[in-house]
Structure 1
C-alpha cells in the first residue's frame, strides 16, 4: 500500500492566533509553523492553552485574533468539514450497532464514496492498523486498544492532509498506551502525514514527537526537538515540567566562551554549567538545572566536595534507582540522583552523607526570572 495512495500531507501555520473568554485569555496571540509531514505535540498542564489551540485549528472554536493557514490556504473561518482535517479523540465514538468495517467506511459514505471503493479503502485502513481480521466484528468484541486503532483507521480512511489527536491514549493502561505510541509512530512513518497531537504526558511527548510545543498560561513556553527541551530548557518552568530535575540557585563567577563557573547559594560549593543562550556575565543570578541521571554520587570524602547531601530515601522504580537527599547547605531544595538499577541491594544507607558532582555539559544555567 503506497503512501501516496492513502494519504497526503499539508503544512499548517497560525499567525497571531488568540482566544479570550471574557477577561480570561485562553490563548494569547500565538505564532506556530508545522511542516508538512511533521509530528508536533502540544504539551502542557491543564489550562495551558493546548486544547484551545487545537480546537481553533480544528474549527471547533472561532478565534478572536489571527489567522490559520493549511497548505497555504486561509481556513480561519471555514467550517471543520472544509479544512481537510481528521480528528482522533480519547473517546473512540464507534457506532455500537455497526460492524468495524462499516464504522470505518462511514466517513466515506458521508462523502459519497461508492460501495466498492469504500470497501477497498476500509480494508486498506484496517491493514494499516494491523487489524484486518476484525472487519466483521462489533466494537463490543474488541479491546480498548483495538477500538482506539479502529478510531484511528476511521480517521485515516478519508485521507485527510492533517490529523489532529486530542489525548487519544488517555483511557488506556500504561502498557497498552506504550504499545499504541509505537503503533502511531509506525503509521506516521509509513504515511508521512502531518500530525498535531495533544497530551499532558511528558514521556508520551518525548517518545513520539519530532518537535514539542510546550505551553503555559496560554502561551508557548518553548518550541523545539524533545532533546532541546529536556537538556537545554530556556526557563525554569520547562526544566521543572519536563521530567525530574535538580534546580539549584547560584551566581555566575565567570563566563568562559559559554561555559560558566558558578557558586551555589548557601555556601554549598561551586560548579560549572553551560548557558542557555542568554548573555550571562559575572554576578548574574541563575538557576542551575541538572538531571538526576547526570549526577555522580560518592561517599563523603571521596568526591569533589562540591555539593553534599544526607540520604533521606531510596526508591527502586525498576530500571532506575533514585536517591533522595537533603542538601546540607541552607536554602537548597531536595536533591535527587538516579542511576541504572544493578541489584536489589545497594551500597547506600539512609542517613549517609554523600557528595554530588556533575559535568559542565550536563548542567544548564537559566537566568533568574525565566
Structure 2
C-alpha cells in the first residue's frame, strides 16, 4: 500500500467565472487526521466534495491508495462519509443502520450483525442496538453515524462539520471520542470545520484555506507559532500584529523599530529575508506578552489600560499604544488575586521574548 492514502495533483473546480478551487496539490498520509479549515467560501467544502466524488473536477488528478479515482463514482472510492445531519434511516434500528453498508456489499446477515455489534462497542453504545434514531440524543446519533461509516473499514473517512449541530459541552466530548476512535482504528480522516479550536484540538495537520487556495499546510503548532502570511496569523487564535521596520539582524532574529522603541523578533518565516528599512508585521500572541507596572531596565514599550476582563481561568487586559494604531493590544494570563488590581488608564510596560514573536513580510 502506498504511504499516502490520498494524492491530489492540480485538482481544480470552477462554477462559470468563479474559481471555487484553484489548482491544488495535497497528500494525506496513511492514518493521518487532516483538517480542512477556513472561512466560508475558502474552498474547503469544495475540496471535500471532490474527494467524495459528489462533484466532478475541471482538471487535475486524484489517487486513493494508488488508484486513479478522479472521475470515479463515490462507491468506487473506498471512502466513508459522516454528515452534519447524520443521515440515519429513521425506519431502521440502530443495528440495521450500521449493517446497511455491509448488506450493500454482499456481507452475509449473521456476519453483518456481528460487525455492527463490534462497531457499536467501538463507539461505546452496544445497548442501543434495537432503538430507532429518534430515540437517541444528538451525541448518540453522531456516534451511530460514525459507527455506520467505519463498519466496513474504508481507506478514508470524510467528515463534513459533523459536530456543528451539537452544544459546546457535547461537542468537546465528541472531539475526544473521535480522536480516541481514530487512534484505535488508525484510519485516515479528512475533516472539515470552520472552528479553529476544533481544528487545533483534533488534527495531526491543518490545511488552512483561503480564496480557493491552500494558505498554509502544517501541524497546529506550525500554523500557530510560525504563520507564513498575515491571513494565517490573524485567522488562527488571538493575535497582536504590530507594524515595524527592520533595523538589522541579531543572530537568527531581527531587530525592529516601531513607534515607542526597539524590539526583537524571530526571523520572517515566509518569503525572502527582509532587508534593513523594510516594513514587516510583528506577531505576538496575548499569552506571550509580559506586563510590568514599573519601567524595567530591559527594553519595554509603554501602553495604557483600556479594559480588564476576568473570563474565568484567564484574565485579559486590553491596552492602547501608538505602535498598535487603533487596534487594542490583548494580554492574557491566568486569573489570580492580582488580576483585580489593574485599573483603566493605568500605564503598563510590555515585554516579550524574541522567540515568542514572528516577523511576517507583507
TM range (shorter): over 0.9
* CA contact 1:252–1:284 (8 Å) conserved in 2: yes
Q: What is the number of equivalent residue pairs in this alignment? A: 359
The residue aligned with 1:180 is 174
The residue aligned with 2:357 is 363
Q: Which runs of 5+ in 2 are unaligned?
A: none
Q: 2:329 aligns with which of 323, 329, 335?
A: 335
Classify 1:329/1:254 alpha carbon distance in 2 versus 1 (closer, same or farther; 3 Å): closer
Aligned pairs (5 A) from 1:279-298:
279-298=273-292
Task: Give 1:104 shift.
Answer: 0.8
The residue aligned with 2:261 is 269
Task: Give 1:158 shift.
Answer: 1.4
Q: 1:16 aligns with which of 10, 17, 25?
A: 10
What SS is found at the alignment partner of 1:11? Answer: strand
The residue aligned with 1:138 is 132
* CA contact 2:242–2:324 (8 Å) conserved in 1: no
* CA contact 1:86–1:156 (8 Å) conserved in 2: yes
Q: Which runs of 5+ in 1 are unaligned?
A: 1-7
Query: Over residues 236-260 of structure 1, what are the superposed CA-to-partner deviations in whole Å (9 max), with x where a residue is unaligned?
Result: 1000000000000001111133211
Distance in 2 separating the partners of 1:204 and 1:41:
9
The residue aligned with 1:158 is 152
Task: Give 1:208 shift.
Answer: 0.4
Query: Over residues 103-145 of structure 1, what are the superposed CA-to-partner deviations in whole Å (9 max), with x where a residue is unaligned?
Result: 1111111222111000000001000001111111111221111
* CA contact 2:37–2:206 (8 Å) conserved in 1: yes
* CA contact 2:242–2:323 (8 Å) conserved in 1: no
Classify 1:63/1:87 alpha carbon distance in 2 versus 1 (closer, same or farther; 3 Å): same
* CA contact 2:243–2:323 (8 Å) conserved in 1: no
Q: 2:343 aligns with which of 349, 364, 367?
A: 349
What SS is found at the alignment partner of 2:89? Answer: coil
What SS is found at the alignment partner of 1:346? Answer: helix
TM-score w.r.t. the length of structure 2 is 0.96
* CA contact 2:262–2:299 (8 Å) conserved in 1: no
Aligned pairs (5 A) from 1:206-225:
206-225=200-219
Query: Over residues 130-181 of structure 1, what are the superposed CA-to-partner deviations in whole Å (9 max), with x where a residue is unaligned?
Result: 1111111111221111110000001011111100000000001111101000
Distance in 2 separating the partners of 1:151 and 1:260:
51
Q: Which moved more, 1:97-106 or 1:323-332?
A: 323-332
Distance in 2 separating the partners of 1:50 and 1:141:
33
1:47 aligns with 2:41: yes
What SS is found at the alignment partner of 2:341? Answer: coil
1:118 aligns with 2:107: no
The residue aligned with 2:226 is 232
RMSD: 1.6
Q: 2:86 aligns with which of 66, 89, 92?
A: 92
TM-score w.r.t. the length of structure 1 is 0.94
Distance in 2 separating the partners of 1:303 and 1:146:
58
